[in-house]
Amino acid sequence: MTASTANAQRFREFKMPDVGEGLTEAEILKWYVQPGDTVTDGQVVCEVETAKAAVELPIPYTGVVHELRFGEGVTVDVGTAIIAVDTDPGAGPAEAPAAAPQEAAADEEAEPQGRQAVLVGYGAAPSSTKRRARKPQPGVPAQPEPAKAALQAELNGRTAPAAPATPVAPAVQPAPAAPAGSAVPAAGRPLAKPPVRKLAKDLGIDLATVLPTGPDGIITREDVHAAATPTAAPAEAPGPVAVAAAEPGTVDTAARERRVPVKGVRKATAQAMVASAFTAPHVTEFITVDVTRTMKLVQELKQDPDMAGLRVNPLLLVAKAFLVALKRHPEANAAWDEANQEIVYKDYVNLGIAAATPRGLIVPNIKDAGAKTLPQLASELGDLVATAREGKTSPAAMAGGTVTITNVGVFGVDTGTPILNPGESAILAFGAVKLQPWVHKGKVKARQVTTLALSFDHRLVDGELGSKLLADVAAVLERPKRLITWG
């Protein structure tokens, strides 16, 4: 065994895993360890945020933390080493293997054999195709740094900074061939890795206009960021400067604006809402209902020994009413399969609960909620909300939902027109419960009233079916004894 091999086995690197199917990167939110700390196999060392949720990462090694490769707040590609651990600290001093740059890590690593296991599922199978390195083209002069900056600025449609004057050579001498990393790519598809292409798309940068600096003409993250950064205007010669007068009535608001990158949960939510709003034809119906009896039942259940230690609130009974109504109208619990042109009817209900968290809106769901008793439903609902507020909801908890409830009433809002969670058939909005005048038994009395709104996918749910579903939810809340007679 060579010294380098023994050294590599002693210092083990933990790479950013794929914490959810198809994710390509994650942001390091917080490190729980520092260099010199002792760690054990399975110990959580950091928290990362993906496009779906915040996830804590356990390390699979025991030893002493040698190095943290990235700081907090940095977005790291999946497969990049983020921490190095000395698994044999008692063996004396040794030099840890150098960290490879994030952009070149995938190219410098040995080809893995077979599919590599990740935290959830398996990664993609490795490709057997290898790209040959580009050869320098004879006769192509190398571009000095000012010339590269000028070319990049021209490609991006901006003015390049003025280059310092250079003396004219008496004769033109042939220049040596430029290295592949500094040459402008030939016509065709620019060379870039998928995460870099995604970054360019998010920033609105055309990769064909980006000057590559990576090996073999590959475009790196730094190249994309450089293309997105405005180039400074050339310096003006000293002289009288004419100051343009501001137009009457105009106000400079730039100093009072903040720009925050769209990423993580906010980015995933935005993409999901746009995809849903412009894919599924939404229909929203409303109904106002007297829930006085339901509110009385809530108070009675709080005193019930079988509900001791459980959180009992109006949302619990709204959820149960929705499940009872879906049991009476199972055709509404379905999904649209565009690829196969099929409607998938589901004999189970994974009930999503929209939860507002510091990182944005997430929709975890209670698996097989229709088969649970009221105490079981209350227990899972309480755990789901608590986990979401702590930011600990796993990607698996948000997958596979069939219908959703959003409780806008907690904000004092009467109702709304909720947007469907992608892949689901319906979403019920529960508005604020307010004391209002209501005709009850022929007399106007003060009653506790709320408004429900049901949005549904009109490809799956016709107006008649949607109306019956919403009416049954209201009927259960008006007379909660129907939980027994209909359930």
The residues assigned a catalytic role are: 458
What sign results for the dihedral spanned by CA atoms 52, 54, 59, 64? positive
Residue 162, beta-bridge partner list:
none
Taking each continuous run of H as one helix and of E as one strand, the counts in the chain are: 11, 19
Q: How many angstroms separate the Cα of 185 from the Cα of each of 155, 194, 211?
A: 13, 17, 8
Using an 8 Å Cβ cutoff, are 62 and 39 in contact? yes
CA 105 to chain centre: 24
Residues in the chain: 487
Residue in 472, 150, 154 with CA at minimum distance from that of residue 327: 472
Q: How many angstroms separate the Cα of 367 from the Cα of each of 364, 374, 397?
A: 9, 14, 8
Is residue 463 helix, strand or coil? helix
User: Nearest 5 degrees, angle CA 408-CA 413-CA 415?
Assistant: 70
Pairing assessment for the beta strands 351-353 and 342-345 based on DSSP bridges: unpaired
Neighbours of 118 (CB within 10 A): 18
**Using alpha carbons only, how large is the chain's radius of gyration in Å?**
30
Is residue 396 helix, strand or coil? helix
Phi, psi of 366 (to 5 degrees): -90, 115
Residue 252, CA atoms < 13 Å, CB-side half-sphere: 4
Q: Where are the strands (E) in 22-137, listed by range?
A: 25-31, 38-39, 44-49, 54-58, 63-68, 75-77, 81-86
Residue in 260, 259, 264 with CA at minimum distance from that of residue 362: 264
Residue 66 has which token pair?
Answer: 């040698």
- Please state, in angstroms and rounded to a whole number, the distance separating the CA atoms of residues 30 and 478: 48
**Tokens 């590559």 -> residue:** 212
3-state secondary structure string, 106-134? HHHCCCCCCCCECCCCECCCCCCCCCCCC
* Share in percent of the chain as helix, strand, coil (round to 5): 30, 20, 50
**Tokens 């959810």 -> residue:** 20
Is residue 79 helix, strand or coil? coil
Q: Work out the angle between the directed axes of helices 221-228 and 194-203 (0-180°, nearest 10).
A: 10
